[in-house]
Structure 1
Amino acid sequence: MIRAALPEEAAAVTELHLRARSTYYPDGLPDADRDWVASWRSAIERPDSQVLCVVERDDIIGVASFRTAEGAPADTVKLFQFHVDPDRWRARIGTDLHAACVERWRADGRLAATLDVHVDNRRAQAFYRRLGWVPDPENPPAEGDHHLFLRYGVGATE
């Protein structure tokens, strides 16, 4: 089931987030001293943000967080976080979660989505390419930046 995350699920979302991110940071996670539970709770409760989660047998196995980024056009949404339990990769969970995001973006009248992905996260880059994400021409990576910026055409609502 894919549904909105609840504030009391922030710890479970954080656990999933940290497990997934640790797969592509070879030297350990940045922001190790950050209170990720508080950050996720804030994202879940933030009125201009949406956090979707995939729940299976009461376990959160996927999560996506998105909203309009500061300074971005109102018809463009930014995908800030997108994680699937590494033990569940290649089970269509990410594909289904992405489809739910796109459905929500279309319903909200969004025409485009953006995200940034870590350069070492080749698995995620391939996943996003398969779904139609392309390099964002408005945001080429700066020299030394460790993120690639991608754009997705959401399309008009039906």
Structure 2
Amino acid sequence: MDGVSLASGGLRLGRSPGQDVQVIRIGRPEDAAAIALVHETARRAYYAGEGEPWQLPTEAAPERLETWQLLLADPARATVHCAVTDGQVVGLLSLGPPLDSTSNDEAVLELHALYVLPGSWSGGIGSQLHAAFTERLSSGPEDHGALEVWSGNSRALAFYRRRGWTPDGRSRPGPAGTAYLGLTLRRAILGRAPGRTTRSR
């Protein structure tokens, strides 16, 4: 990528040789089905494991679609970003206050979800979506970011650790004896953490 710049309706990502121009924009209610399908597809890929066969879904599970419909309809709960290539949603980022209703920590900005279609992995889309999160964190009132990641998703764990996220001791049970692990990103380290980009002017 050769940088990130403002484009009509979103951020226009720079073009690399042989790569289509992509736009990151705020999600809209009509994007719910496409966003839910990205979520469904990415989850199937990483739960299957590297090199394991898995079935490409044609639509998201109804409960997943409903979740995204609710989030997109309520900007106070979540800000959703879409990465779009040739009119297709290929990645998503959701951020905002903690979705856990028992949490009242106003100092935290939660990264609810960051997913990219497997066919677009390693193309820089995840990095640009993460940059949108760190830009919001660095300019907002919260002093740290928080997320959960499945312990079996080594790709995601490496992605976040490279960008300055560290384990914070939170954990809850996952499938087959695994766990969902809590990670924290301190705003104070953003100037040093990889993956942070500046918008081109």
How far 1:156 moved relative to its partner?
8.8
Residue number among 70, 88, 95 corresponding to 1:59 in the alignment: 88
Counterparts of 1:33 and 1:53 in 2: how far apart (Å)? 19
Single out whichever of 1-10 and 33-42 deviates more from structure 2.
Answer: 33-42
**Structure number with bigger Rg:** 2
Counterpart of 1:38 in structure 2 is 66
Residue number among 147, 151, 156 corresponding to 2:184 in the alignment: 151
Verify the 8 A CA contact 1:4 1:51 in the aligned structure 2: yes
CA RMSD in angstroms comes to 2.4
Task: Give ranges in structure 2 of 5+ residues lacking alignment.
Answer: 1-22, 55-59, 192-201
Counterparts of 1:89 and 1:47 in 2: how far apart (Å)? 28
Q: Are residues 157 and 85 of structure 1, via their aligned partners in 2, closer, same or farther at CA, if it must alter by over 3 Å?
A: closer
How far 1:105 moved relative to its partner?
2.3
Counterpart of 2:194 in structure 1 is none
Counterpart of 2:39 in structure 1 is 17
Identical positions, percent? 32
| Per-residue Cα deviation, 1:27-51 (whole angstroms, up to 9, x for no partner) | 98xxx96521111011111132111
Verify the 8 A CA contact 2:164 2:189 in the aligned structure 1: no
Counterparts of 1:123 and 1:22 in 2: how far apart (Å)? 14
SS in 1 for 2:161: helix
SS in 2 for 1:132: coil
Single out whichever of 66-75 and 37-46 deviates more from structure 2.
Answer: 66-75
Counterparts of 2:141 and 2:188 in 1: how far apart (Å)? 9
Residue number among 118, 131, 138 corresponding to 1:99 in the alignment: 131
Counterparts of 2:93 and 2:168 in 1: how far apart (Å)? 20
Counterpart of 2:199 in structure 1 is none
TM-score (norm 1): 0.86
How far 1:61 moved relative to its partner?
1.1
How far 1:157 moved relative to its partner?
9.7
How far 1:150 moved relative to its partner?
0.5
TM-score (norm 2): 0.69
Verify the 8 A CA contact 2:152 2:178 in the aligned structure 1: no
Counterparts of 2:189 and 2:158 in 1: how far apart (Å)? 25
Verify the 8 A CA contact 2:40 2:61 in the aligned structure 1: no
Counterparts of 1:78 and 1:90 in 2: how far apart (Å)? 24
Counterparts of 1:39 and 1:148 in 2: how far apart (Å)? 22
Counterparts of 1:153 and 1:81 in 2: how far apart (Å)? 18
Q: Are residues 150 and 156 of structure 1, via their aligned partners in 2, closer, same or farther at CA, if it must alter by over 3 Å?
A: closer
Q: Are residues 33 and 129 of structure 1, via their aligned partners in 2, closer, same or farther at CA, if it must alter by over 3 Å?
A: same
